[in-house]
Chain A
């Protein structure tokens, strides 16, 4: 734990990137997150998360070929590293174990 801890938003970002496979770049990540969370996601927050995740070694990025839709500019494609995947797994394990212990109110049964 400690260094490899994932924040909630970071977790969502990692999941989104994993879901987008080879098409994961800033704009598509932002759009996917917005669509799934029903909240507006600011680019400032996204940039800081992406940078932090890259520093932690959970993400790798590479530049794509320039495309017409971005006005001839290339985009940075993100991919989740193995370390990132294991951080996700770890986070999920922690969650799952806590989920199992949760005492639900009768309304949910």
Chain B
């Protein structure tokens, strides 16, 4: 509709016409309207012609009723159809509880499916909106094991990689390198910390970002130009068209002016490369000699776009040769270290296709599979409700089936009827389900960390898939009544000799399956909760309470810490102040990757002040603490962790020189170990603990300020810190976090998954219980006479309730037996993500079983107790 020739009929109208006149005049009508359009076009102009075309189409649409099109060959078919509809609605109305259970259960199942479809679709169409996405690749460094398998992919590349590739590898059309940094940005007001990207000017040839204003060809050709998004334009200038304005960015020590040369409009969220502010890569801090020619420093992401018709697979050999040419020496080292034979590659440049980057390296496709599995499980539970309830009710419908057969219905007509009923109920559920999904979308978005939306018109595949769900669900849910009910023999049903207790083998297995699925989700929920709690309650080896953490962005930490100590260090609400290189937390730290006795060890370095161990509440277990008055301590002493001593085999480390580091070459080489602290978790519990040491050597900078404040008067204390900050660092606003808050962000992903599974299991149990409730109601009503006789013979209420409960407990027990091993396997896999984890114990299974039994008993107790309390005189009187 947006596009399309003004001088031809509206496409949408044409389409509506083509589906509305499925009658004998179709071709004529189309020809008529086309001809009329041409006449009107020449007499009154395009607008009038289009308007009249729409009017005609709508008049045709409204005047031809749907039923006229069905071309019923005889009156009987039509009235039978009307009768089916009537019977369906009657039975829906007559049995409100079952209708509610069916419709509501299916609606929730379908809503889940719709939401998860959106999620999966978003994952699978990542980066597809970039027009050239099929020929854009990220150049990665791929390292191999001795057996030829991939050991590791490095996403970053050296600075000269891209231009040299373009020169030497035929078929490379354009390239862009990319680096992101945090900078302070301001226009007239306060500076704000923003992510700033640096890139080459061909970026806009490779990625399709919609320019609102400015020229994409030249937007990044100067080092003092900047391209921003419309949100940024609005944030800093209060208007969208900000081209020609200038923005101040603090790249180094002071703010510099940048001229805005382009504003980019909104683009789909699912893009791997996203930016707010974009500068030319030629202005990046490392884009200068000697780094600009170095092949051993991997700083920039490198994207290339191949010419059309160039096959990426055919570039494998040229790229391997290219790699050998420029980093042959490194390859040689790798060969020796990993014992890679000469005829095999040690490393190469690998082209990672843009549309696959997201699922290859950012997000795990496993999540999509798990989510789809959950959605299908919930829908299946709802379908099973439909089936078991139909079976339960079949005794009531069997008379109808018998009657219809007696008056001449064929089996296929009955199948049509029952399937039709199922589709009708699914249709109603679908509408309800879409409304539910719309309602839950904001919650789902915050859980999944995406910004999804239903765009029915633009994204018509959503509609197609929803319709597909409808068809499949209707087919599955309606299959039992359609196949079995229609097969009843009229004589048996009408004589009433047909036995349908509502609990045959088929029903039983379905109910067990339902509960197996629910139990699986419950066990998963329990294990995940338990593990996440374990992580949170783990003693980290240091105290993170009430620690304010201030990143300093290139200011000298020692100086700021001293200023703060003199200004507010004596205040009662300030417990202690210290400057560190990296705030301890779960981001890990800077460090060395060193080979030691044939193994590569990653050594974490914490640049600290002398009061650090006291500040963090760490425990010194050998040697001594740093001495602020000892000049050598500030450069040549280190304190190691227990793991460090263990990993490097140091039995008596105190007084020894630090191993693995080379004096003169490494900044911390030759330092003497003066003490050892107890192990503490400075990495997340996903990873095994690495060796680490503390040093006061400021070679790697004290980039962060930590202030421990007292738990009282937090507001006032923060205000005081802010004031002090303003007097010492007036040009930058204070940017602080609490250490505790930051630490658990590392686990946010798994927390989210735990919540999603939690919700899913709630819904699964809820739907399963709805079905159970319906089923128990049916069972009770079909055995009500038996209950009467038992009561006459002296059974108590409890015995009667137990009679019904016993059957269901059996089914649930079978469900638990099926679910447990599967849940155990799945959860073990998940726990393997964590280097430190709980083990799944019998308690998880017992708890899940008790929980499901309790819920199920609570569900059925209402009906069973009611049955036990009925007066036998009432139920037996009409026999």
The answer to whether A binds B is yes
Residues of B within 8 A of A76 (CB): 28
B22 CB to nearest chain A CB (Å): 14
In the docked arrangement, what's the CA distance between A26 and B32, Å? 7
Q: Which of A1-9, A12-20, A36-44, A90-98 contacts the other chain?
A: A36-44
A47: Cβ under 8 A from any B Cβ: yes
Residues of A within 8 A of B33 (CB): 43
A86: Cβ under 8 A from any B Cβ: no
B217: Cβ under 8 A from any A Cβ: no
In the docked arrangement, what's the CA distance between A69 and B38, Å? 10
A75: Cβ under 8 A from any B Cβ: yes
Residues of A within 8 A of B59 (CB): 42-45
B29: Cβ under 8 A from any A Cβ: yes
Q: Which of A43, A45, A76 has the largest count of B CB atoms less than 10 A from its CB? A: A43
B36 touches A27 (CB 8 A): yes
B475: Cβ under 8 A from any A Cβ: no
A47 touches B36 (CB 8 A): no
Q: Which residue of A lies closest to B62 (CB)?
A: A44
Partner of B60 from the list A27, A43, A70, A73 (CB cut-off 8 Å) is A43
A48 touches B63 (CB 8 A): yes
In the docked arrangement, what's the CA distance between A71 and B31, Å? 8
Known: A27-B32, A42-B55. A47 touches B27 (CB 8 A): no
B56: Cβ under 8 A from any A Cβ: yes
A13 CB to nearest chain B CB (Å): 15
A62 CB to nearest chain B CB (Å): 13
User: Interface readout for B18-57 with A: 1 if CB under 8 Å, 0 if not?
Assistant: 0000000101110111111001000000000000100110
A45 touches B63 (CB 8 A): yes
Secondary structure at the B interface, as helix, strand, loop or mixed, is: helix
Q: Which residue of A lies closest to B27 (CB)?
A: A73
Known: A27-B36, A31-B39. A43 touches B29 (CB 8 A): yes
Partner of B36 from the list A30, A45, A75 (CB cut-off 8 Å) is A30
Residues of B within 8 A of A26 (CB): 28, 32
Residues of B within 8 A of A44 (CB): 56, 58-64
The range of chain A's interface size is 10 to 19
In the docked arrangement, what's the CA distance between A26 and B31, Å? 10
User: Interface readout for A66-88 with B: 1 if CB under 8 Å, 0 if not?
Assistant: 00011101011000000000000
Q: Which residue of A lies closest to B59 (CB)?
A: A44
A47 touches B35 (CB 8 A): no
A68 CB to nearest chain B CB (Å): 11
In the docked arrangement, what's the CA distance between A43 and B27, Å? 14
Known: A42-B55, A45-B63. A70 touches B31 (CB 8 A): yes
B344 CB to nearest chain A CB (Å): 66
Residues of A within 8 A of B52 (CB): 40
In the docked arrangement, what's the CA distance between A76 and B28, Å? 8
Partner of B34 from the list A31, A40, A45, A71 (CB cut-off 8 Å) is A71
In the docked arrangement, what's the CA distance between A23 and B666, Å? 99
In the docked arrangement, what's the CA distance between A45 and B59, Å? 7
Residues of B within 8 A of A48 (CB): 63-64
A75 touches B31 (CB 8 A): yes
A42 touches B56 (CB 8 A): yes
A75 touches B39 (CB 8 A): no
A66 CB to nearest chain B CB (Å): 10
Residues of A within 8 A of B56 (CB): 42-44
Partner of B35 from the list A40, A42, A70 (CB cut-off 8 Å) is A70
Residues of B within 8 A of A45 (CB): 59, 63
In the docked arrangement, what's the CA distance between A44 and B62, Å? 8
B41 CB to nearest chain A CB (Å): 13
Residues of B within 8 A of A47 (CB): 25, 29, 60, 63
In the docked arrangement, what's the CA distance between A44 and B58, Å? 8
User: Interface readout for A28-61 with B: 1 if CB under 8 Å, 0 if not?
Assistant: 0011000000001011110110000000000000
Residues of B within 8 A of A70 (CB): 31, 34-35
B35 touches A43 (CB 8 A): no
In the docked arrangement, what's the CA distance between A48 and B25, Å? 11
Q: Which residue of B lies closest to A63 (CB)?
A: B28
A75 touches B28 (CB 8 A): yes
A40 touches B55 (CB 8 A): yes
In the docked arrangement, what's the CA distance between A73 and B27, Å? 8
In the docked arrangement, what's the CA distance between A43 and B29, Å? 9
In the docked arrangement, what's the CA distance between A70 and B28, Å? 10
B53 CB to nearest chain A CB (Å): 9
Q: Which residue of B lies closest to A76 (CB)?
A: B28
B36 CB to nearest chain A CB (Å): 6
In the docked arrangement, what's the CA distance between A75 and B27, Å? 10
In the docked arrangement, what's the CA distance between A30 and B60, Å? 14
In the docked arrangement, what's the CA distance between A73 and B32, Å? 10
Residues of A within 8 A of B35 (CB): 27, 69-71
Residues of A within 8 A of B62 (CB): 44
Residues of A within 8 A of B28 (CB): 26, 73, 75-76
A55 CB to nearest chain B CB (Å): 13
In the docked arrangement, what's the CA distance between A44 and B33, Å? 11
A77 CB to nearest chain B CB (Å): 12
Residues of A within 8 A of B39 (CB): 27, 31
In the docked arrangement, what's the CA distance between A105 and B32, Å? 45
B290 CB to nearest chain A CB (Å): 72
A23 CB to nearest chain B CB (Å): 13
B484 CB to nearest chain A CB (Å): 45
B128 CB to nearest chain A CB (Å): 38
A46 CB to nearest chain B CB (Å): 9
In the docked arrangement, what's the CA distance between A44 and B55, Å? 9
Residues of A within 8 A of B60 (CB): 43-44, 47
In the docked arrangement, what's the CA distance between A27 and B28, Å? 10
Partner of B31 from the list A30, A40, A42, A73 (CB cut-off 8 Å) is A73
B48 CB to nearest chain A CB (Å): 10
In the docked arrangement, what's the CA distance between A75 and B29, Å? 10
Residues of A within 8 A of B36 (CB): 27, 30-31, 43
In the docked arrangement, what's the CA distance between A19 and B36, Å? 20
Q: Which residue of A lies closest to B63 (CB)?
A: A44
Q: Which residue of A lies closest to B43 (CB)?
A: A31
B289 CB to nearest chain A CB (Å): 70
In the docked arrangement, what's the CA distance between A27 and B27, Å? 14
Residues of B within 8 A of A42 (CB): 55-56, 59
In the docked arrangement, what's the CA distance between A64 and B61, Å? 26
Residues of B within 8 A of A31 (CB): 36, 39
In the docked arrangement, what's the CA distance between A47 and B61, Å? 11
Q: Which residue of A lies closest to B58 (CB)?
A: A44
In the docked arrangement, what's the CA distance between A42 and B83, Å? 36
A70 CB to nearest chain B CB (Å): 5
Residues of A within 8 A of B63 (CB): 44-45, 47-48
A60 CB to nearest chain B CB (Å): 16
B870 CB to nearest chain A CB (Å): 61
Residues of A within 8 A of B61 (CB): 44
A21 CB to nearest chain B CB (Å): 19
B59-93 interface with A by 8 A CB criterion: 59-64
Q: Which residue of A lies closest to B36 (CB)?
A: A27
In the docked arrangement, what's the CA distance between A44 and B60, Å? 4
In the docked arrangement, what's the CA distance between A40 and B61, Å? 17
In the docked arrangement, what's the CA distance between A12 and B64, Å? 21
In the docked arrangement, what's the CA distance between A44 and B13, Å? 14
A35 CB to nearest chain B CB (Å): 11
In the docked arrangement, what's the CA distance between A50 and B370, Å? 59
A74 CB to nearest chain B CB (Å): 8
User: Interface readout for B259-283 with A: 1 if CB under 8 Å, 0 if not?
Assistant: 0000000000000000000000000
Q: Which residue of A lies closest to B28 (CB)?
A: A76
Q: Which residue of A lies closest to B17 (CB)?
A: A43
Q: Which residue of A lies closest to B52 (CB)?
A: A40
Q: Which 7 residue pairs across A and B have the least CB separation, nearest first?
A: A44-B59, A42-B59, A73-B31, A44-B60, A43-B56, A44-B63, A26-B32
Given A40-B55, A43-B33, A44-B61, 15 further pairs, Cβ under 8 A: A27-B32, A30-B36, A40-B52, A42-B59, A43-B36, A43-B60, A44-B59, A44-B60, A45-B59, A47-B63, A48-B63, A70-B35, A71-B34, A73-B28, A75-B31
9 A-B pairs within 8 Å (CB atoms) are namely A26-B28, A30-B32, A40-B55, A43-B60, A44-B58, A44-B61, A44-B64, A47-B60, A70-B31
